[in-house]
Amino acid sequence: MDTNQNDYHISFFKPTTAMAKWNRNLAIKLILVWAVAVFGFHFLLRAIEKPTPEDAYVKYEKVWENISTENASVEEMQTFAHTSLSVLGKVFIKPNEKATLCNAVSWVTYQLADSLEKNLLVDKTRELEKIISEIAAISEPAYINAKKSLSQVTSSILGLQQSDPRRLILSLSLTSTEMDSFKDVNKEMIPAIMSTYLIHNQSFLTDFVFLGFPFHYFYTAVFLLVLFVFLCWLYCYRVDQKYAELGIEE
Amino acid sequence: MKKFLLPIILLLTPSLLFAAGASTQLEGGFKMGPAIILITILCVFVLVGIVFRAKDTTDFYAAGRSISRVGSGMAIASNWMSAASFLGMAALMYGTGYHGLAYVVGWTGGYVLLLILMAGQIRKYGKYTAADFIGDRYYSQGLRAVGAIIAILISISYCVGQFGGIGIMFKWILGIDYALAVIIGGSVVLVYTLISGMLGVTKNMQIQYVIIIVSFLIPLFILTFKFDYFWLLPQIGYGSVVSDIVSGVPIAETTQMFNSFGHEYAMVPAPEYAMPWDSATGQTFFQWIAIAFSLMIGTAGLPHVIQRFYVVPKARDARWSVVWGLFFISILYWSAPVYAAFGKILSANPEVGKLAKDAIVVYTAQLGGVNPLIVGLLAAGGVSAAFSTVSGLLVAGSSAFAHDLYVKIINPKASPKMQLLMARLGTVLMAVIVTLLALKNWALIAQLVAVAFSLAGVTIFPLFLLGIWWSGSNKQGAIAGLIAGLLVAVIALTYFIAGKEGVTLPYYEFVNYWLGAWYFAWIGAPLAILTNIVVSKLTPETPLEIRKFLVLNVHS
C-alpha cells in the first residue's frame, strides 16, 4: 500500500508494500496449517479407513446361514442371540430395528429352553410385562424381583457369563408374544441391521490409543483446539513483534 | 402388515416401555434448590445490569469502548458459550458420537479465520454494527438496509436455539410444561436486556463466564473421581471413558459402580460412538466436513461476534481479545464431550429409556449421582449461558433495527432518546418472534443455532472478507454475491421448514442432504464470493474515496 500512489488498491494476493506482503505471508502460512490440520487430517482419516467388523459380526456371519434356514445348532443359536444382544445394547438404534432384534432374541431363547423352561419363560416374561405396564418407578420391589427371576432363567439358557453386560439387556429384550416364531420380515432385516451397527470405519489412527483416547478422537476433540489457540496467539505475537520492530503505533 | 404390526411390537417390547419411565423420574417436579440458585443468579445479573446500565446510545451499542482485552475475551466467550455450547454440543455427541465433534471444531476453528482475516481490520474500520460496515464499504443505503435485515434474521435464528435451551432448563427446574417454560424464560431475558444495554451486558458477561465455566466443570471432577478415571484433568481423563465405550465395559465383580438408578456401570462395545462417520449414526463424511466448514466461516460472519470488536479501545486489543476469547471458549469445548461420554455409559441400561438429548448434560450429572444442588448449579449455568448469548444477540439485532434501519435510513434526525426507544422496541419485537419460533421445537438446540452460522456464512462473511481484502469488490458485486448466497439459503431453509411442517417438496432427499439447513454455507459461501468477484470485475470500479479509506484507515 503505497499512500503516495493515487490508485489506492488493496488486494490480499497482490500486496504493494513490504508490511502488507509480510502480513499476507503470515496469514497464508497460518491458514495453511489450520486447513491441513482440520481438513487434511480428516481426508487422510477417510482415505485410509477400512470397514472393520466387530467380533460379534464375525461370529454372526458364521452362524447366520443356518439361523436363517432354521438349521442352527445350540451353540450357533446362542451365538446369534449374543450378537443380537450386542446390537440391542448399542448407543444408537432405531425403534423398528430394536423390535426386530427383540423378536430374534425372544425366539432364540424360547427355542433353546427345554420343555419345562419354555412355560416358565413365557410366564415370567408375561409377569414382567404386566408389572412394567403397572409400575410408576423402576425402583419398585415387584419389578426388581420379577426382572431378577426372569434373568435367572434366561442367562443360563443363553450361556452368558456373569461379567457379560448383555445380561443386563436380556430380560428387557424378551417379548412373550414374539417367542414362537422368527418372522420372515424380521429375518430379512437382520443382515442390514448387523452390517449397519457392527461394521465401523477404522484405521491405525482410530486404533492407536493416546492418553487413553482413540488417537483420532484425541486429535479432534483436544489437540485441534489447542492448535487453534496457539495459532491465534502466534499471529498476535508475530504482529506485535513486527509492529514494535517498525515502530508502528496503532 | 408390517405397518400394522410395528406399533404393537413396540408396545409389547418391555425395554421400549421405559421410554418415559426412568427419564420422567430424572425430570421430576419443581426443584427448590436449583430454583433458588437460578433466581439468585438472575437477580445478580439484573443488579449488575442496573448498576452498569446504558446511559446513552454509545454505551448501548458499543459499551463506550472501555472494555479491556481480557474482559472483552471473557465477554466474547460468554457471548459465545450459549445454550448450544453448554447443552447442545454434548447433546450432539451423545446422539451422533464423533459427528458431534464437527461442531466443536467448527465453532472454535472459525476464530482463527476471524482473527487473521478480520478482527483488527474491523476495529480499524471503526463502525458500530455489521450493517454500518456493509453500507459504508459498498456505498449503498440499500445494502445497509439488507445487511441490517440479515443481521436481525441471523440474531433471530440464533436466539431460537437459545430460547429452546432456556425452555428446557426452566422446564427441568420448575417442573412445568416446555411451552410455558419458554415463555417464562424468554420474558425474564427480555426484561433483563431492556434494563441494561451493552455496557451492562458486557459487565454481566464477565460474571456469566465465571458462573458458566465453574458450574460446568465441578460435576466433571466429581464424575471422573467417582467412576475412577483420572480426575485431576477430566478433559484428558475422559479419554479412557471413550475407549471404554469402544471396547465395552464388563460388569465388575469386585468394585461395583452404579448410576443413580442402581444400574451397573457397564455396557456392550459401542465403537460407533467414537468412530468417524459411522453408519450407525446415519451421518456421512461429507456432512462432517460441510458442517465444520460452514460453522467456521459462519463464526467469522456473525454480526454479534463482529460487533464485539467495536467495544475494545484499539485494533491490537481486538486481536488479543480473540486469543483470550478462544481460550476461554475452549475450556468449555474441551469439557462438553466428557458429559456425552459419561452420559452414554450411565444411560446404557435400557431401563433409563430415551432421554431428551438437549438436557443430557444435566441428566448425566443426575445419573452419576452428583449432589442435587450441584446439578442445580449446572442447570443454572445452562440458563446463564443462554442468557449471556441472548442478551448480546438482542442488542445486536435491536442495534441493526434502530441504528441501521431507523436512524440511518428512515429517520436520520432521530434524537438519542428516540434511538434508544427504537432499540428497545426492536428488542421486544425480536423476543416475541423468537419465542413463537422456539415453541415449534424444530430441531436440537445446536442444529438450530448452526442455521444462523450458515446464514452468516453465505451473506455477511463474503461481504466482510472481500470488503476488507479486495478493494476491487464493488457495490454491484456485493449485491450479486448477496443474491447468490441468499438464494442458496432460501432453498435450503424452505426445504427444511417444509419438511418439518410435513410438506414434501420435489427432490426433498437430495436437497435436504446436499443443502442441509445447518451446513448449506459449504456451497453458498464460495458461490457468493465467486459471484461477487466476477460481477465486480465486469462493473465500474469501487469509488476512490472508499479505496482510499481502506488503504489509509483499515490497512495502514
* DSSP string across A109-133: HHHHS-HHHHHHHHHHHHHHHHHHH
pLDDT score for A170: 87
> Are A92 and B95 an interchain contact pair (Cβ–Cβ within 8 Å)?
yes
In SS3 terms, B494-547 reads as: HHHHHHHCCCCCCCHHHHHHHCCCCCCHHHHHHHHHHHHHHHHHHCCCCCHHHH
List B249's β-bridge partners, or say none.
Answer: B267
Do B400 and B133 form a contact (C-beta atoms < 8 A)?
Answer: no
CA B77 to chain centre: 11
From residue B171, give the alpha-carbon distance in Å to each of A75, B308, B442. Answer: 50, 31, 17
Task: Tell me which residues of chain A, numbers 110 to 149, contact chain B at a CB-CB cutoff of 8 Å.
Answer: 128-129, 132-133, 135, 137-139
Kind and range of the H or E element at B415? none
N residues, chain A: 250
Kind and range of the H or E element at B278? none
Chain A residues in contact with B104 (beta carbon < 8 A): 220-221, 225
Contacts of B61 (CB under 8 A, 6+ apart): B128, B129, B197, B198, B310, B395, B399, B403
Q: Does B314 touch chain A (CB under 8 A)?
A: yes
Q: Which of A38, A138, A165 sits opposite B249 (nearest CB)?
A: A165
Output the tens digit of pLDDT for each of chain B's 556 residues: 444 444 443 333 344 344 445 555 666 677 888 888 888 887 887 777 677 665 555 554 444 445 667 777 787 888 788 888 888 899 999 989 999 999 999 999 999 998 898 877 887 777 667 888 888 899 998 998 898 899 889 988 888 888 888 888 888 888 888 889 889 888 888 887 776 555 455 666 777 788 889 999 999 999 999 998 999 999 999 999 999 999 998 887 666 788 877 888 889 999 999 999 999 988 999 999 999 999 999 998 888 787 776 666 677 877 888 899 899 999 999 999 999 999 999 988 888 877 888 889 999 999 998 998 899 899 988 888 888 788 778 877 887 788 778 887 788 888 888 888 888 888 888 889 989 888 888 888 888 889 999 999 999 999 999 999 999 999 999 999 999 999 999 999 999 999 888 888 999 999 999 999 999 999 999 999 999 999 999 999 999 888 888 888 777 6
Task: Tell me which residues of chain A, numbers 10 to 39, contact chain B at a CB-CB cutoff of 8 Å.
Answer: 10-12, 20, 27, 30-31, 34, 38-39
Distance separating alpha carbons of residues A231 and A199, to the nearest angstrom = 37
Name the percent of chain A lying above pLDDT 70: 96
Chain A residues in contact with B276 (beta carbon < 8 A): 42, 45-46, 49, 201, 206, 216
Q: Does B472 touch chain A (CB under 8 A)?
A: yes
Q: Which of B472, B470, B449, B463 is nearest to B525 (CA)?
A: B463
Q: Which of B101, B237, B556 sits opposite A221 (nearest CB)?
A: B101
pLDDT score for B297: 95
Chain A residues in contact with B5 (beta carbon < 8 A): 185
Helix/strand number for chain A, H first, E second = 12, 4
> Are A165 and B240 an interchain contact pair (Cβ–Cβ within 8 Å)?
no
Helix ranges (H only) for A49-183 are: 55-68, 74-88, 95-112, 115-134, 141-158, 167-173
Task: Name the residue in chain A with its Cα closest to that of B6.
Answer: A96
Task: Tell me which residues of chain A, numbers 57 to 76, contact chain B at a CB-CB cutoff of 8 Å.
Answer: none
Q: Which of A88, A14, A219 is nearest to B469 (CA)?
A: A14
Residue A2 pLDDT > 70, yes or no? no
Chain B residues in contact with A237 (beta carbon < 8 A): none
> Are B239 and A165 an interchain contact pair (Cβ–Cβ within 8 Å)?
no
For chain A, give the mean pLDDT: 88
Q: Does B267 touch chain A (CB under 8 A)?
A: yes
Q: How far is A110 from chain B (nearest CA, A)?
A: 16
Q: Does A196 touch chain B (CB under 8 A)?
A: yes
- Select the more confidently predicted residue: A220 or A19: A220
Q: What is the DSSP letter of B249?
A: B
- Select the more confidently predicted residue: A165 or B288: B288
The domains located in chain B, with CATH, are 61-397+414-554 (1.20.1730.10)
Q: Does B269 touch chain A (CB under 8 A)?
A: yes
Q: Does A241 touch chain B (CB under 8 A)?
A: no
> Are A229 and B326 an interchain contact pair (Cβ–Cβ within 8 Å)?
yes
Q: Does B334 touch chain A (CB under 8 A)?
A: yes
> Are B276 and A46 an interchain contact pair (Cβ–Cβ within 8 Å)?
yes
Q: Does A156 touch chain B (CB under 8 A)?
A: no
Task: Tell me which residues of chain B, numbers 162 to 191, contact chain A at a CB-CB cutoff of 8 Å.
Answer: none
Chain B residues in contact with A8 (beta carbon < 8 A): 471, 544, 547-548, 550-552
Distance separating alpha carbons of residues A63 and B316, to the nearest angstrom = 67
SS3 state at A201: strand
Cβ-count burial B406-437 (b if 16+ within 10 Å, e if not): bbbeeeeebeeeebbebbbebbeebbeebbeb
> Are B333 and A225 an interchain contact pair (Cβ–Cβ within 8 Å)?
yes
Q: Which of B108, B275, B472 sits opposite A228 (nearest CB)?
A: B108
Mean pLDDT value of segment A54-76: 91
pLDDT score for B14: 40
Chain B residues in contact with A89 (beta carbon < 8 A): 267-268, 270, 348
Q: Which of B1, B323, B551 sits opposite A1 (nearest CB)?
A: B551
CA B272 to chain centre: 26
Q: Which of A86, A99, A222 sits opposite B9 (nearest CB)?
A: A99
Q: Does B507 touch chain A (CB under 8 A)?
A: no
Q: How far is A31 from chain B (nearest CA, A)?
A: 7
List A200's β-bridge partners, or say none.
Answer: A52
> Are B268 and A85 an interchain contact pair (Cβ–Cβ within 8 Å)?
yes
From residue B538, give the alpha-carbon distance in Å to each of A147, B154, B526, B542. Answer: 76, 30, 19, 12
Kind and range of the H or E element at B423? helix B416-438
pLDDT score for B12: 37
Chain A residues in contact with B268 (beta carbon < 8 A): 85-86, 89-90, 165-166, 169
List A202's β-bridge partners, or say none.
Answer: A50
Q: Which of B215, B206, B204 is nearest to B70 (CA)?
A: B206
Query: How does strand A209-210 pair with strand A213-214?
Result: antiparallel
Task: Tell me which residues of chain B, numbers 387 to 416, contact chain A at a CB-CB cutoff of 8 Å.
Answer: none
> Are A221 and B116 an interchain contact pair (Cβ–Cβ within 8 Å)?
no
Q: Which of B13, B269, B555 sits opposite A1 (nearest CB)?
A: B555
Chain B residues in contact with A229 (beta carbon < 8 A): 323, 326-327, 330
Total CB pairs under 8 A between chain A and B: 278
SS3 state at A52: strand
